[in-house]
Chain A
């Protein structure tokens, strides 16, 4: 017991040296606390960010893979006949691409194959043409542009839609290579409210009437945009007639049950002249899949009937969390999904890219932590070693009067422990006060470096398209909240800012996580105390070894 008293006396006596150690330890502890809390917060953000947030996933075709496979097959099977002229086997590739279309039943099969809870929604999109008394909204009067678009160009636009223009988290390529939207209007059938909420043109509000139902009772009901209604002077209750784009004699009649207004119309006209009027958001007619089916325009019917009009199926899986998403991907693979398809999630991709600065910060924090701890350990050991060398005489006297070496060593360890614990307490307090502003400042630096990288890419390309830029945040339509999950806003501070923004336009917006909640919690304090204890004991060990080496006689003889 008296060694504790001695240790305390010794600490009080050597104020100068101990204050120096306290300051050093406090600085180390503060830096380590900040590092630890950043890592902790980053981990929390990563774990919790999508843990309870719905994640949407789609199955899409990996065209590169498919084409290269088709090429290989073509090369191996038709060496003699075809490869001589060096031309790629276009027909084989086209047929390969064509066969690869997944049907609605396929999609639903995979949903069933999942071991995790999965809900689905889908939409089917087809083109219809204007009739005399129902005209599309357009600036030029020539409404024939769509007709003149060859299959080649529409195929291009199909590609563009599939690859870049991932509409609001519901990608999917139901009609591979085929013409997706011909005609003057886009007639889209939705399977549920959720599907409408994630409509490609973004969210909308009803200005009149209400949205159609989804069962067969509501067949024939549709809603049209406000612009279209005004253009044709239509109101709720009126009927419209549209024609099959490939056969103008074939007409379909729909009843208007509601008129909607897009929340973000400015982004949705961006398809340029290629798309024709049907690409204009104003010319989108929304109805239920049931209606499409009753009209014979659903994807199964159109693909089997070999009609020139094909309907694109967008099938989306909704999963409870990111973990579920990963399980689902695996389950789908196990259920026999060809490996030319990939399961992807824009939510997850968005989230991953939003985490890049935070990950960098966490890496930086780890580096900081290691450096600080190594330097701290070295400094502590050196100080302790000098300290004990200086007190060799004391060791000699204490052992000479019969104090056991273990007790002397324990006294020194306790002294160091008292001092380092004071230092750690001060350092943790300082670190706790500084960690939130410091870590947010560091994160801001990471983000700006990330952004300037994007900036330089933009300069290189001379345009801002396709690069998830910082200004993309403005383009993310409100569907983020309603669509992905309404509880994303309830998430902790760090993930609140990154509710996966769903880009409505071309640019894929990345909302970086801009704040990190690096508050020092009990876990961090406990870790710090453990680290401090380990460091102290480690450096005390060095002292203990040098104490053990001393023989009292030798020390006293040296002295006299």
Chain B
């Protein structure tokens, strides 16, 4: 486990954004965000360019109704490529809300969310969702009337990316990756079990090669061995392919296997 990066130095990266925006965010990082090692989020660390934050929460607050009760308050955190993050916390701490914010499904009422230094509120969040981030929803959100392959290809189509191989081949490879037999490709989603659907949802999230994978309780419906399979996939994605993997979970096991844990405190206590 290493400390979260909050660097003030200019970042040398191949991305097309400016580092100074992220630099300003670091000192204001939330004191509630702690790593399992006990290091605070504000602790500076500089492990190199590969640890530059890809997604940053910058003093984010959110309430469902304008001026209403805040579900989360002044949250700051930075996520880096090549690491697996676990977001944990008791019920009502705002885990799902943080996920929604990170995946660009909604905008914070206060503060900013930065993707590669760009304010998500000012960019095309549809493009962000379809192109840069893969979300594995708690309830999978697959289209039941479509087949497994159609669901996967739909996301690939929606991303607008060009693929160097036929989409069918990519889909079959992904199914193999999540350990589903090739016959599943033409199966309707409705005919699959919860665990199978979960794996299809993961395959879909990976299909268009996003920079960030966000998973909401990805192991909730799975037995222990499958859970380990899935976690192995996530760790591979982060450590081998350099993705940023963010997992929202209740499970201490999952948190244990993550590189970093982002603990959300229940709001009442604050």
List residues of chain A with CB under 8 Å of any chain B CB: 2, 5-6, 9, 13-14, 394, 396-404, 551-553, 556, 559-560
Q: In the complex where A552-B105, A556-B137 touch, is A401 in contact with B130 (Cβ < 8 A)?
A: yes
Residues A397 and B143 in contact, CB atoms below 8 Å apart: yes
Alpha-carbon distance between A402 and B155 when the two chains are bound, in angstroms:
8
Given known contacts A404-B126, A553-B100, A398 and B135 CB-to-CB distance under 8 angstroms? no
Q: How far is the CA of A14 from the CA of B145 in the complex (A)?
A: 9
Q: Which residues of B contact A551 (CB under 8 A)?
A: 105-106
**Contact check: which of B106, B128, B154 meets A6 at CB < 8 Å?**
B154
Q: How many Å lie between the Cα of A556 and that of B155 in the bound state?
A: 17
- CB-nearest residue of chain B to A405: B126
Task: Give 7 nearest A-B pairs by CB, closest first.
Answer: A402-B130, A402-B129, A2-B157, A560-B139, A553-B105, A403-B158, A397-B141
Across the two chains, which residue of chain A brings its CB closest to B128?
Answer: A402
Contact status A396-B141, CB under 8 Å: yes
A-B contact pairs, 12 of them (CB 8 A): A9-B146, A397-B141, A397-B142, A400-B105, A401-B155, A402-B130, A404-B126, A551-B106, A553-B100, A556-B105, A559-B139, A560-B137
| 17 additional contacts (CB under 8 A) given A401-B155, A552-B105, A556-B137 | A2-B154, A5-B157, A6-B157, A13-B145, A397-B142, A399-B126, A400-B129, A401-B129, A401-B158, A402-B126, A402-B128, A553-B105, A553-B106, A556-B139, A559-B139, A560-B138, A560-B139
* B235 interface residue (CB < 8 Å to A): no
| A402:B141 contact, CB within 8 angstroms | no
Say yes or no: A556-B154 contact (C-beta < 8 A), given A402-B126, A404-B126.
no
Given known contacts A2-B158, A553-B100, A553-B106, is B127 in contact with A402 (CB within 8 Å)? Answer: yes
B260 within 8 A of A: no
Is B154 within 8 A of A400, CB to CB? no
Contacts of B155 in A (CB 8 A): 401
Complex CA gap A553/B204 in Å reads 19
Interface size, B (range) = 20 to 34
From the candidates B131, B138, B142, B146, name the one contacting A402 in the complex (CB within 8 A): B131
Decide: A402 and B139 in contact? CB cutoff 8 A.
no
Bound-state Cα–Cα, A551 to B105, Å? 8
**Cβ of B159 < 8 Å from any Cβ of A?**
yes
Interface string of B179-221 (1 = CB under 8 A from A): 0000000000000000000000000100000000000000000
CA distance A480 to B142 in the complex (A): 78
With beta carbons under 8 angstroms apart, the residue of B137, B145, B159 that contacts A400 is B137
Query: Does B150 sit at the interface, judged by CB under 8 A?
Result: yes
Q: Which residues of A contact B142 (CB under 8 A)?
A: 397
Q: Complex Cα distance A13/B189, Å?
A: 14
Complex Cα spacing A402 to B131, Å: 8
Contacts of A2 in B (CB 8 A): 154, 157-158
User: Smallest CB-CB separation from B138: which chain A residue?
Assistant: A560
Instruction: From B128, B137, B146, B158, name the one whose CB has the most chain A CB atoms within 10 angstroms.
Output: B158
A13 to B143, CA, bound (A): 13
Q: Which residue of B lies closest to A559 (CB)?
A: B139
With the chains together, A560 CA to B221 CA distance in Å? 14
The answer to whether A402 and B159 touch across the interface, beta carbons within 8 angstroms, is yes
Name the residue of chain A whose CB is nearest to the CB of B141: A397
A149 to B155, CA, bound (A): 105
Nearest-CB distance from A407 to chain B (Å)? 8
A356 CB to nearest chain B CB (Å): 57
CB nearest neighbor in A for B127: A402
Q: Tell which of B106, B138, B157 has the most Cβ of chain A within 10 Å.
A: B157
A407 nearest in chain B by CB position? B158
Measured CB to CB, the closest approach of chain B to A509, in angstroms, equals 68
Min Cβ gap A557→B in Å is 8
Q: Contact check, A403 vs B126: say whether CB atoms are below 8 A apart.
A: yes
Q: Say whether B135 contacts A400, CB under 8 Å.
A: yes
A398 and B150 alpha carbons, distance in the complex (Å): 13
Residues of B within 8 A of A403 (CB): 126, 130, 158
B71 to chain A, nearest CB (A): 12
Interface centre among B100, B126, B130, B150 (most CB of A within 10 A): B126
The distance from the CB of A17 to the nearest CB of chain B, in whole angstroms, is 12
Residue among A396, A402, A404 having the largest count of chain B Cβ atoms under 10 Å? A402
Query: Chain A residues with Cβ under 8 A from B143's Cβ?
Result: 394, 397
Interface string of B145-173 (1 = CB under 8 A from A): 11000100011011100000000000000
Give chain B nearest CB distance to A1 CB in angstroms. Answer: 8
CA distance A258 to B245 in the complex (A): 116
Tell me whether A398 and B158 are in contact in the complex, defined as CB-CB below 8 angstroms, given that A9-B150, A559-B139, A560-B139 are known contacts.
yes
A5 and B146 alpha carbons, distance in the complex (Å): 13
Q: Specify which of A13, A400, A404 is in contact with B141 (CB 8 Å cutoff).
A: A400
